[in-house]
Chain A
Amino acid sequence: MITAPTIEYFALAPLLIIFGAAIIGVLVEAFAPRYLRRAIHVPLTLLSLVGAFALVILQTVRGVPTTPAAMGSVAVDGPTLFIWGTILVLSFVSILLINDEEQFVPSAAAVPGSAEEEKAISEGAAHTEVYPLALFAIGGMLLFPASNDLLIMFVALEVMSLPLYLLCGLARRRRLLSQEASVKYFLLGAFSSAFFLYGTALLYGFAGTVDLYGISRALATAGGTETLLLVGTAMLGVGLLFKIGAAPFQAWKPDVYQGAPTPITALMASGTLVAAFGAVLRVFWVALGNDSWNWQPIMWGVAALTMVVGSILAITQTDIKRMLAYSSIAHAGFLLVGVMAVGDKGQNALALSGLLFYLVTYGITTVGAFAVVTLVRDPGGEAWHLSRWAGLGKRSPKLAGLFAFFLLAFAGIPLTSGFFGKYAVFRSAVALGEGWLTGLVVLAVVASAAAAFFYVRVIVLMFFSDPSADGPTVVTPSWATSAVVGFSAFATVALGVFPQPVLDLAEKAAKSLFVQ
């Protein structure tokens, strides 16, 4: 006899709202007349995000569940709720950026520069599908870090990634780069998914289950040296590290960030990174936590390589979005330092709260930085070449000042949120009291100093160089974009001066650790 599975609808409600809204969005695409679509999509999308966020708050207030939901396959625990809240806020501001239709191609299928494209532009066509697509991606992002078994996690990975592949190809300007980004991201993403799936299969072979806690239990009895386990861990690791853009799996990031429409880049750089780190933590801490001596050395190498590659290659970039992509790679390296800081329960909570706080600060600042990028334009679209930013500090001191401020936050200068983010993670790593990890922290600060160089280089360009005669124009931002920039700047200051409230939240979320 088969009993019906129990589903905790309340716990899963944020997910259901987002996916529900995405499906309604598809129906809108099918049935609503073209001129109405955008007017329906924008409020629908924003409202669903707000609703989901409200439910996350409600659940946090009502007490965090201590057992996984949906027959043990989705874990809605403290860290998950914190990550959900973060992703929903970041998605909300990213959607406000997406709202700027200037960024998207009128007809993606038309050959760039063809008559067909001209026609689409003159007709005022628009791909309003971006809203439901973004919602599906956001739903995937929510499910990814919450999945408590590897199959659900794989499904979430695909739900998150597939819409993003498409969205990357929709940039209005520099069409070929955008299409290239889309194809590259798809091919490499498919490879990494395959790795993930194969790793899942091998781990199943080892443990006889895809349940994360089940794998952990199997580890307790096995020696931890079995080939299936080792190869499975490695393959799973490849799939996950690809998503966070850790070296040597970072190659897609600059290309995709550069080619994708900037609002989508903002969504990926903030939301996807947060989601992927949540998943990395869950897999490596919950499933493979008892096996840490096996993966820590490899992770050490990956983290070291990631921050060095990110910091050094960023110096050679001339495209502002590519530079921010390498910066994101470097930050992924810094975050990985915290992933390794596992020890007893208290230590884990310390590391987890540090990571959660870092993700919030980095995500918010990133969205702000990309929002500024959308505003600085040449006749042919965004002023992507760094040299075009020369003297921006004189043309529009406020915008340049804000961007400089975001860059200083990336560099981790005190009194910005980035400083406390870094501090929180590095502190947990040093607190472990292991020489090998403290050494990595020293390497990380040296890499931070190197990374500061390229952030500062942009500030030098903006403020200390003279503007060229035909410099880019700064468009008057729409209310939505102004709101995004203002929110990010405010949060970056506030978290840099009074981080305590958010730290409290992160600590509270981390205290219960991941449910098992």
Chain B
Amino acid sequence: MTAIPWLSILMGVSVLGALGVSFLKNDKLAKQATLGVSLLVLVLAVVMTVGFSPNGDRFQYAETYDWIPSFGVHYAVAVDGVALVLILLSAVLVPIVVLASWHDAEQGKRSVRTYFALLLVLEAMMIGVFAATDVFLFYVFFEAMLIPMYFMIGSYGGAQRSYAAVKFLLYSLFGGLLMLVAVIALYNVADKNSFLFPDLIGAVTDPTTQKWLFLGFFIAFAIKAPLWPVHTWLPDAAAQAPAGAAVLLVGVLDKVGTYGMLRFCLELFPDAAKWATPVVIALSVIGIVYGAIVAIGQTDIKRLIAYTSISHFGFITMGVFAMTTTAASGATLYMVNHGFSTGVLFLVAGFLIYRRGSQFIADYGGVQKVAPLLAGAFLIAGLSGLSLPGLSTFVSEFMVLLGTYERYAVPAIIGTTGVILAAIYILWMYQRTMNGPTAESVAEMKDLNGRERWVVAPLIALIVVLGFFPKPLLDVINPAVKESLVNVKVTDPAPVVAVKEGQ
């Protein structure tokens, strides 16, 4: 292993980029600089990924420095397979979002360069939150990343933006503060004078304490994910956020919740996690079905996509808490795939809305005839959202359902209805906006321009490639998930699979 501090470099480049961008006087230059910085981060992240050896140590690229010795807090970052793919997801999405948001910030006569600087700050924090191996550092990123997103929604969002921004912030802050109590208590109970994640594994043995601490962490992550019934902030935030911010919000920020469940709730409090599993699985199944049904009833395109995400997050949580290797790997893969597919869905919807100036499905019709590329991209993104075989989400959804079925047959079966409902909400939305006679208001609509094609093409390519060939990602994810589950000490699911397969 080289001693290059990759993770710090990634964050450092983003932060310095943000500082630089905020001092540029020229808006156009600021945008180009942001794009350049985010592409640089992407390249660095890819180089880092190439150097990652999936079957080596669990945590690689580790850096550990004392930060606040009095509190036992370290600046400690490292990645395992799960964190790595999520960092990669962020690094891929940010340049695309930058390109997609090229004109977003200009509408409100607000500072363009602030928007792009916030994007880069957010990128640094997204990398930090996944890379942190010190629970306290994780908490710091977890809370601090709310602020740039809050300003992005509040300053650059739609008509209800300040309501949505405040709701988003308060929900997340509330959960985060409960987690803070759990973080403090974890430190005291463990009594290791350290917040390092490896030190804290298995440190809490008392079942009652574990349950309380688990709840503190879980509520925060459930709000973040968001899990039914604490999901209500997401449709507002996602619908009001500018399309680019919505992509990062739903695509990456929410993943912190599900990632946290897998990494912290399961590994730090394995017994409590098992104790809570029935309830969590039940909530997830409700979320899957509820999100899908409510999505069908939406009249606003962005809210519809937000509700589909609630349904998808149900799948992810179910996969995480099924505690089988297949389900957990599937859930992790799902986090990545969902980021791409929902990302492109939000972005194409954003292009559509930008052209017509309305978020309502009823204002569209027959767009396919005037803007075939736009409609095509929308269709592929949508089909990925409904898990069409051959597109990436199918693989992960299938893995989650399969893995869950090994242990919890009934929830898996009920969850499967989510797939059918997904077909309804996606196809019906497509039908109403794209098919049929061309509505007068969209008759003049222009098709995707060059910049927008560059936004959509890489994501669609990723969706298709990962749909046929998810192996590279799974190779990275699987060992990490296995090691996580070893820490959870599940009455190992693998033999159960083997027995069933053998029969």
Q: Which residues of A contact B (CB under 8 A)?
A: 353, 394, 397, 408, 411, 413-415, 419-420, 423-424, 426-427, 430-431, 433, 438, 441-442, 445-446, 448-449, 452-453, 456-457, 459-460, 463-465, 499-500, 503-504, 507
Contact = CB atoms under 8 A, between A and B. Distances in A.
B166 to A, nearest CB: 6
A248 to B, nearest CB: 25
Contact of A464 (B141, B155, B180): B155
Contacts of B70: 353, 500, 503-504, 507
Interface string B453-482: 000000000000000000000000000000
Residue from B69, B111, B166, B177 whose CB has the most chain A CB atoms within 10 Å: B177
A316 B173 CA distance: 20
Given A442-B178, A446-B174, A446-B177, 19 more contacts: A353-B70, A411-B173, A419-B143, A426-B180, A427-B71, A427-B188, A431-B188, A441-B181, A445-B181, A449-B173, A449-B177, A452-B169, A452-B170, A456-B170, A464-B155, A499-B68, A500-B69, A503-B71, A507-B70
Given A427-B71, A430-B188, A465-B162, A415 B177 contact: no
Given A452-B169, A460-B154, A464-B161, A430 B181 contact: yes
Interface in B68-113: 68-71, 110-111
Contacts of A420: 68, 71
Contacts of B130: none
Contacts of B169: 452, 456
Interface in B106-152: 110-111, 139-141, 143-144, 146-147, 150-151
A313 B184 CA distance: 28
Given A464-B155, A500-B68, A423 B162 contact: no
B434 to A, nearest CB: 34
A445 B177 contact: yes
22 contacts: A394-B110, A413-B144, A414-B139, A414-B143, A415-B140, A415-B144, A420-B71, A427-B184, A430-B181, A430-B188, A431-B188, A445-B178, A445-B181, A456-B170, A460-B165, A460-B166, A464-B165, A499-B68, A500-B67, A503-B68, A503-B71, A507-B70
A338 to B, nearest CB: 13
B154 A463 contact: yes
Contacts of A394: 110
B187 interface: yes
Contacts of A431: 188
B155 A438 contact: no
Nearest to A427: B184
B185 interface: yes
A464 B161 CA distance: 8
A288 B285 CA distance: 56
A415 B67 CA distance: 12
A431 B143 CA distance: 23
B362 to A, nearest CB: 28
Given A415-B140, A465-B162, A423 B180 contact: yes
Interface string B167-179: 0011001100110
Contacts of B174: 446, 449
Contacts of A433: 188
A462 to B, nearest CB: 10
Nearest to A426: B184
Contacts of B143: 413-414, 419
Interface of B: 67-71, 110-111, 139-141, 143-144, 146-147, 150-151, 154-155, 161-162, 165-166, 169-170, 173-174, 177-178, 180-181, 184-185, 187-188
Contacts of B69: 500
A330 B203 CA distance: 34
B185 A397 contact: no
Contacts of A464: 154-155, 161-162, 165
B40 to A, nearest CB: 24
Contact of A463 (B140, B141, B155, B178): B155
Contact of A452 (B141, B151, B173): B173
A397 B22 CA distance: 13
Contacts of B154: 459-460, 463-464
B285 to A, nearest CB: 29
A408 B147 contact: yes
Contacts of B178: 442, 445-446
Nearest to A500: B68
Contacts of B180: 423, 426, 445
A414 B177 contact: no
B61 to A, nearest CB: 23
Contacts of B161: 464
A415 B184 CA distance: 17
Contact of B71 (A411, A423, A456): A423
A499 B188 CA distance: 20
Contacts of B165: 460, 464
B177 A448 contact: yes
B162 A397 contact: no
Contacts of B184: 423, 426-427, 430, 441
B177 A453 contact: no
A457 B163 CA distance: 10
Contacts of A463: 151, 154-155
Contacts of A426: 180-181, 184
Contact of A414 (B144, B162, B170): B144
A456 B166 contact: yes
A413 B169 CA distance: 11
A486 B111 CA distance: 23
B211 to A, nearest CB: 14
Contacts of B188: 427, 430-431, 433
Nearest to B145: A414
Residue from B70, B71, B139, B146 whose CB has the most chain A CB atoms within 10 Å: B70
Nearest to A412: B177
B161 to A, nearest CB: 6
Nearest to A439: B181
A415 B148 CA distance: 13
B170 A453 contact: yes
- The 8 A-B residue pairs with the shortest CB-CB distance, nearest first, are A445-B177, A464-B162, A414-B140, A449-B174, A464-B154, A503-B70, A414-B143, A430-B184
B113 to A, nearest CB: 11
B256 to A, nearest CB: 14
A85 to B, nearest CB: 18
A429 to B, nearest CB: 9
A2 to B, nearest CB: 48
A446 B178 CA distance: 8
Contacts of A427: 71, 184, 187-188
Contacts of A449: 170, 173-174, 177
B162 A460 contact: yes
Contact of B185 (A415, A438, A499): A438
Contacts of B110: 394
Contacts of B150: 456
A420 B110 CA distance: 33
A452 B177 CA distance: 11
Contact of A430 (B144, B147, B185): B185
A197 B166 CA distance: 47
A419 B111 CA distance: 29
A329 to B, nearest CB: 19
B351 to A, nearest CB: 25
Nearest to B154: A464
A504 B68 CA distance: 10
B181 A438 contact: yes
Residue from A414, A419, A446, A463 whose CB has the most chain B CB atoms within 10 Å: A414
Contacts of A500: 67-70
B260 to A, nearest CB: 16
Nearest to A502: B70
Contacts of B146: 413
Nearest to B163: A460
A397 B111 contact: yes
A419 B155 CA distance: 25
Contacts of A353: 70
